[in-house]
Structure 1
Amino acid sequence: MSAPSVPSTPESASAPSPLDTERAHLAASRAALRAMRRDAEALDISDVAATWVSAEVLRRDVEARIKALADLAGTPLFFGRLDYLRALDAEGETGTRFYIGRRHVHDASGDPMVIDWRAPVSRPFYRASRQDPQGIALRRRFGYDGGELTAYEDERLSDPGADEGPAGALLRREIERPRVGPMRDIVATIQPEQDEIVRGPVAETVCVQGAPGTGKTAVGLHRVAFLLYAHREKLARTGTLVIGPNRSFLRYIEQVLPALGELEVRQATVDELVLADGLEIRGTDPAPTAVLKGDARMARLLRRAVRSGVRLPEEAVVVPRGTRRWRVPGYELAEIVRELLDRDIRYGAAREALPQRIAHAVLVQMERAGEAPDDRVQAAVARSAPVKAAVKAIWPPVDPAKLVLRLLSDPEFLAEHAEGLLTAEEQRLLLWSRPPRSVKSARWSAADAVLIDEARDLVARTPSLGHVVLDEAQDLSPMQYRAVGRRCSTGSATVLGDLAQGTTPWATGSWAEALSHLGKPEAAVAELTQGFRVPREVIAYASRLLPAIAPGLAEATSVRDTAGSLRLRRVPEPAGPDGLDGPDGPAGLDGLDGAVVDACRAALEHEGSIGLIAADARIPALAGALARAGLAHLGPGEETSERVRLTLVPASLAKGLEYDHVVLDEPAAVVAGEPDERTGLRRLYVALTRAVSGLTVVHAAALPAPLAGPGPEGDRS
């Protein structure tokens, strides 16, 4: 592998340097992309469609095409080149060359100038090696400064004697490039084990257990982009969805797919996914209640409650038709009801089938009497007043929200259906102390909304999407998994998470259990343990927590050995009455607050983004300290400005985010902010692993036991 090559002197006055040649190809490719967009803009579709509906669909398609052909400023049009040993066509040419980029670009003749990274011909860019060159003679990576091509680096895969070596300088530089603003794609740096997941079959569900910094979120987003490329027609019909833990996280990742040319992928949180019928989440549950509401047993409870209104009829249904009256006896009606119950179809579908079954029984009698009724007669009988009245009495309609309201407010109704499922104490946890008067006045919690969604699906099937990406999955409850699983019941999913980062009271215990609740027990679990984001010194320090938080997981490694990436600073014991500030008290910047501000100032001397992560309870005090120090800062998900590079991050929102340098305030407070020590240590593990270049830990209280002991700079905790 060669070092980054920036030729400074051409071989002759008439022969351009290789770098000049590559720059010329970049300029020509950009010009070709602009021409492609102009062609799309010039399309006259005014008299093409036969109907106004077709015309509107066509217009939207053309607008989407124009938008997709935008040349994004500062984003390299191509990042690599492949020189094949031989042509891929039948003409026997040698030296076939392809430039690999984020989108396809062709010239006026239709010949490709840039190949989409998702195309099959691009695959060796990520997979080829000297042991398995896959027909590649040379792989070239390009280095950019903004949008300007500044360097290149070659790997001659056809030379078996060359050293394989670690990632090249350009690859490392791209991985370590300072990050300000939203998350960016990793399309230029995808590693072979990541690419294998990205290009997996559309019908297969895969679960990615990924240690911090292994790129699992980026892998999931790139898999969506690849599937939309390879199976666009299918997924255009069925739809795709990315589910994240909160809106801050979704704002952070929202630019990745558009940068890859995919503009129509919906993003949502689980809470947003299950809300319907104008309901709002306005209440919260104590942890024990939330854990119980997320328990899979609630699905069985709801199933019993939904079907509780069905009554076996005893009286006959009499249907007048012309001059005759047709009678369906009670025992025959009861047989129809039992059969529908035994078929285990959804409540609403069975209710719709019941009048047709009753009407069919009437038609059988008509035929025996010598009449010849047709489908119109059956439909009329099914709509007749006696049949409608019978259906209402036998199989009454169910309102999912009202049903859940009754379960949570009616002790007798709950006890009737919870028998053998929930203990008396568990039933008391579920019941509201002050039952609301109506569905609209109820202060529904996030867990309640999931229960309503479950009941809604028991009544009518939830439409399934073609593919769902579920990120930070380790924090979902069994009932939340079921809610997501309903959205991909006939499709596939990419499940992303890290068991060591589970910070909810109902966090996933194992992926086998989680996938079972999702309805995908056959899914394969892929483990990513090699980190590309977190420096080796930082991940090793954070991994001290693994025996206490996830003893079954392998310790993560990192390809990046950055000296001095971890600093621990112990602040002298505080003298202030609040236990956090020094002698000057809360109004000053001595003690812990002052040390944190100093660490932020030091971090701002370097390039890139800075994240100040602290226990949620410490955020107001630190916001005040930063303001008094004159340091402007943003909140999570607001990182869109290169002028304000400091983000103040509550520990509860840090998951999934990354910053070039992290200042971590008072680890003991992060742990203490959670309901139990194990959850607190997991939250601390998340906070410790958000750094890309450097981590500074500032503390006054003693460090948690797993982190105590010798550390960088002789920390004395």
Structure 2
Amino acid sequence: MPAAHPPSPADSPLDAERAHLASSRAALRAMRAEAEALDISDVTANWVNAEVLRSEIELRVKALADLAGTPLFFGRLDLEAPEDGKAEDGEREDDGRRFYIGRRHVHDAAGDPMVIDWRAPVSQPFYRASRQDPQGVELRRRFGYEGGELTAYEDERLSGPGSEEDGEGTGEAAGALLRREIERPRVGPMRDIVATIQPEQDEIVRAALGGTVCVQGAPGTGKTAVGLHRVAYLLYAHRERLARGGTLVIGPNRSFLRYIEQVLPALGELAVRQTTVDELVAEGLEIRGEDSPAAALVKGDARMAEVLRRAVRAGVRVPGEDPGAAAEGVTVVRGSRRWRVPVHELGEIVRELLGRGLRYGSAREALPQRIAHAVLVRMEAAGEAPDDRTQNAVARTPAVKAAVKEIWPPVDPARLVLRLLSDAEFLAACAEGVLTPQEQAAILLERPPRGVKAARWSPADAVLIDEARDLVERTGSLGHVVLDEAQDLSPMQYRAVGRRCSTGSATVLGDIAQGTTPWATADWATALGHLGKPEAEVAELTRGFRVPGEVIAYASRLLPAIAPGLAPATSVRASAGALRVRAVEPEEREAAVVAACREALAGEGSVGLIAAGDRVPALAAALDAAGLGHLSPGEETSGAARLTLVPAALAKGLEYDHVILDEPTAVVAAEPDERTGLRRLYVTLTRAVSGLTVVHAERLPLALTGR
């Protein structure tokens, strides 16, 4: 085991490290002051450029903040000495061989680095070096902090004399400081794991920007943190490219986003947008409706993409095939001459545009130019010499505009979807051979609203409108998208996200075993196909750091019933007494839950009371009666209380030091089917970092007890 050095007044190495910390903080303050003092009054050509530059400087100043309680550096690398073992004249023996690793780069007045950004290439061995593969590292030092003050350090000698006796590297056995950092009580929002990233996590974090990575991560393996640190790394390595394309983090709900919102700012990244799928697609819509499970299942099915494609194109009338579609052709008057494009030629133009697979709007914009080009061909044959200006003028003539409106009418995506869901004949025509009559009936509105503004759109409707909008006009693509809790997305939601990174890449995070929607992902290959990234690499994280071994083993009893193809997760942390299962009488249940909360609050860290939704009001009343203040999910950042009352449906992605789980059978029963219920139970059982107490009056689910 690496040797830990506790604080001591006589410990001169610790004093030296504290001195370097103080110097580094002073240098960071100087860097911030220099940024604040920049004069840009005469360096830009216009006020627009000045505003852009001013905004960039403001972000730079914020990124250089010395955050209270956040260690400026957390590690040190001493590289192997030169082969001759001698320093050049005027150099210390450690010059160029010692690097302090931290959350951001800090340099002194001369520009020499005092702290190296954890994302820099030279920092990579801090996470990956081991005795078996030292990667040029002689010594790795980790630092311990209390309230921002450096209090201890711990060394691992990876090469050179003594390396065989100094214990294993952190890739095999975590040292005392590493374990302490992982197990540090959690109060408030999620924090970064930059000091504790493990080799298998670092490989994902530093994967190339050009490829999409899918992370199948068991509970406690840090997949969310890995995804967020990957964003920070990519912004460091490809800042200009991602600044042009943009970066987006998508989470399952607002509570989850509030929980993770401080991770990227703590790493110096302030300009990353965070949203949910529902918010992403609900542009200009008010979501007020809710679908039945049967309707939501059909609307989320990938086959709806074909139904919408047909619906969008249903309005196109091919001359010569559809009565009234420019039946007389198009006649353009130019001066004293009349130029006629006959019906059969118009039909050929329209069929050719339909066959090219262009988006509806692009083809509609091309149609008047194609008709105008046909007129110009006739002009040239008659001896005239028209140019591009003539073609544009012809395309704008009333006759051509009228023909385009008749042949290729404009499409409003929301109106189109409303018609599809309201008009049984139109739906049947568009869904023929795609949806069964029963599926069509499931999504038809019983009482169609009077217009788009009166519609009570559901989240699934918004996704359909987004698909229709993309069929009309291409959705803009971002440089990189992080999609968390991806196992719960429908195929149509995957398509909506995929459109946002069609020319970029993605990091997909999820766990098949935690899928709790009717359309939950059965396998990643299918999901990645819907996303438009079938070539994505799938990486599996099974080594847990957050959930104690006793707890994850208990929860893993459910895996044969909910995800038989997944390997059970393991944990690097053994914690005796981390799991307590208490059977009580029904009339004692609320009192037992309150007692368990009091017991957990007597220790350190955050406490989460998780229960089925219909049990939350009774438990809230019991907590209030007992004088135990509590929060709702997403309010943890307020610091008003350490106890959060969490409906089971919102527990996914959250974590608490101590979890009290109320009535597992009620959690299962609240879902539409047993398998989904057991998956929800698996989620709730794996939210604990230090301890889990299960309180139940009803018989536990058979899949959990085995009897």
Scaled by the length of structure 2, the TM-score of the pair is: 0.96
SS of the residue corresponding to residue 3 of structure 2 reads coil
1:168 aligns with 2:163: no
Check conservation: 1:7, 1:18, Cα contact below 8 A. Answer: no
1:339 aligns with 2:352: yes
Letter in 1 for 2:290: T
Letter in 1 for 2:690: S
Deviations 1:552-611 (A, max 9, x none): 000000000000000010002x3xxxxxxx2xxxxxxxx100000000000001100000
Letter in 2 for 1:42: A
Structure 1 CA distance, aligned partners of 2:520 and 2:611? 22
Letter in 2 for 1:599: A
Shift, 1:4, TM fit: 2.0
SS of the residue corresponding to residue 383 of structure 2 reads coil
Shift, 1:642, TM fit: 4.2
**Which one of the candidate residues 53, 61, 65 is aligned to 1:66?**
61
Letter in 1 for 2:430: H
Structure 2 CA distance, aligned partners of 1:257 and 1:195? 16
Structure 2 CA distance, aligned partners of 1:391 and 1:366? 21
Structure 2 CA distance, aligned partners of 1:323 and 1:91? 92
Deviations 1:638-677 (A, max 9, x none): 0024451000000000000000000000000000000000
Structure 2 CA distance, aligned partners of 1:8 and 1:150? 9
**Which one of the candidate residues 35, 51, 56 is aligned to 1:56?**
51
Check conservation: 1:86, 1:135, Cα contact below 8 A. Answer: no
Shift, 1:271, TM fit: 0.4
Give the 3 Å change call, closer, same or farther, for CA 216–87 of structure 1 in structure 2: farther
Letter in 2 for 1:62: I
1:155 aligns with 2:156: yes
1:680 aligns with 2:677: yes
Letter in 2 for 1:249: F
Structure 1 CA distance, aligned partners of 2:458 and 2:329? 44
Query: Paired residue for 1:713?
Result: none
Structure 2 CA distance, aligned partners of 1:86 and 1:120? 19
Deviations 1:213-269 (A, max 9, x none): 000000000000000000000000000000000000000000000000000000110
Deviations 1:169-220 (A, max 9, x none): 0000000000100000000000000000000000100100000000000000
Check conservation: 2:394, 2:400, Cα contact below 8 A. Answer: yes
Structure 2 CA distance, aligned partners of 1:620 and 1:439? 36
SS of the residue corresponding to residue 4 of structure 1 reads strand
Check conservation: 1:347, 1:458, Cα contact below 8 A. Answer: yes
Structure 2 CA distance, aligned partners of 1:667 and 1:58? 55
SS of the residue corresponding to residue 2 of structure 2 reads coil
- Aligned ranges for residues 179-194 of structure 1 at < 5 Å? 179-194=186-201
Structure 2 CA distance, aligned partners of 1:86 and 1:649? 54
SS of the residue corresponding to residue 183 of structure 1 reads coil
Give the 3 Å change call, closer, same or farther, for CA 420–108 of structure 1 in structure 2: same
**Which one of the candidate residues 14, 17, 20 is aligned to 1:22?**
17
Check conservation: 1:198, 1:220, Cα contact below 8 A. Answer: yes
Structure 2 CA distance, aligned partners of 1:653 and 1:631? 21
Q: Give aligned-pair identity as a percent.
A: 78
Shift, 1:379, TM fit: 0.8
SS of the residue corresponding to residue 640 of structure 1 reads helix
Q: Which moved more, 1:263-272 or 1:51-60?
A: 51-60
Structure 2 CA distance, aligned partners of 1:529 and 1:119? 27
Letter in 1 for 2:113: P
**Which one of the candidate residues 620, 633, 637 is aligned to 1:636?**
633
1:524 aligns with 2:525: no
Structure 2 CA distance, aligned partners of 1:605 and 1:60? 46
**Which one of the candidate residues 56, 78, 98 is aligned to 1:83?**
78
Check conservation: 1:180, 1:641, Cα contact below 8 A. Answer: no
Shift, 1:548, TM fit: 0.4
Query: Paired residue for 1:495?
Result: 508
Query: Paired residue for 2:593?
Result: 596
Structure 1 CA distance, aligned partners of 2:431 and 2:46? 56
Shift, 1:7, TM fit: 5.0
Query: Paired residue for 2:323?
Result: none
Structure 2 CA distance, aligned partners of 1:9 and 1:223? 39
Structure 2 CA distance, aligned partners of 1:479 and 1:9? 63
- Aligned ranges for residues 21-420 of structure 1 at < 5 Å? 21-86=16-81, 95=94, 96-159=97-160, 160-162=163-165, 163-164=167-168, 166-276=173-283, 278-314=284-320, 315-420=328-433
Shift, 1:279, TM fit: 1.0
Query: Paired residue for 1:2?
Result: 2
Check conservation: 1:472, 1:497, Cα contact below 8 A. Answer: yes
Shift, 1:9, TM fit: 5.1
Check conservation: 2:414, 2:452, Cα contact below 8 A. Answer: yes
Structure 1 CA distance, aligned partners of 2:561 and 2:705? 14
Letter in 2 for 1:601: R
Q: Which runs of 4+ in 1 moved over 6 A?
A: 90-93
Structure 1 CA distance, aligned partners of 2:371 and 2:106? 62
Letter in 1 for 2:115: V
Letter in 2 for 1:146: G
Check conservation: 2:3, 2:156, Cα contact below 8 A. Answer: no
Shift, 1:47, TM fit: 1.6
Deviations 1:486-524 (A, max 9, x none): 000000000000000000011011100000000000101
Shift, 1:352, TM fit: 0.3
Structure 1 CA distance, aligned partners of 2:305 and 2:267? 39
Letter in 1 for 2:261: E
- Aligned ranges for residues 536-615 of structure 1 at < 5 Å? 536-572=549-585, 574=586, 582=587, 591-615=588-612
Shift, 1:423, TM fit: 1.2
Structure 1 CA distance, aligned partners of 2:644 and 2:406? 60
Structure 1 CA distance, aligned partners of 2:199 and 2:54? 40
Q: Which moved more, 1:213-222 or 1:55-64?
A: 55-64
Letter in 2 for 1:130: R
SS of the residue corresponding to residue 689 of structure 2 reads strand
Shift, 1:366, TM fit: 1.1
Shift, 1:426, TM fit: 1.0
Structure 2 CA distance, aligned partners of 1:177 and 1:642? 17
SS of the residue corresponding to residue 50 of structure 1 reads coil
Structure 1 runs not aligned, ≥5 long: 11-15, 575-581, 583-590, 710-716
Query: Paired residue for 1:579?
Result: none
Scaled by the length of structure 1, the TM-score of the pair is: 0.94
Structure 2 CA distance, aligned partners of 1:179 and 1:660? 6
SS of the residue corresponding to residue 56 of structure 1 reads helix
Structure 1 CA distance, aligned partners of 2:187 and 2:551? 21
Check conservation: 1:654, 1:687, Cα contact below 8 A. Answer: yes
Query: Paired residue for 1:645?
Result: 642
Structure 2 CA distance, aligned partners of 1:376 and 1:416? 42
Q: Which moved more, 1:361-370 or 1:167-176?
A: 361-370
Deviations 1:407-439 (A, max 9, x none): 100011011111111111111101001000111
Query: Paired residue for 1:658?
Result: 655
1:698 aligns with 2:695: yes
Q: Which moved more, 1:246-255 or 1:94-103?
A: 94-103
Structure 1 CA distance, aligned partners of 2:82 and 2:20? 20
Structure 2 runs not aligned, ≥5 long: 321-327
Q: How many residues align structurally?
A: 687
Check conservation: 2:259, 2:637, Cα contact below 8 A. Answer: no
Letter in 1 for 2:5: S
Shift, 1:475, TM fit: 0.2
SS of the residue corresponding to residue 557 of structure 2 reads helix
Structure 2 CA distance, aligned partners of 1:491 and 1:473? 18
Structure 1 CA distance, aligned partners of 2:705 and 2:244? 55
Shift, 1:406, TM fit: 0.4
Structure 2 CA distance, aligned partners of 1:291 and 1:180? 38
Check conservation: 1:7, 1:17, Cα contact below 8 A. Answer: no
Structure 1 CA distance, aligned partners of 2:309 and 2:576? 58
1:623 aligns with 2:636: no
SS of the residue corresponding to residue 390 of structure 1 reads helix
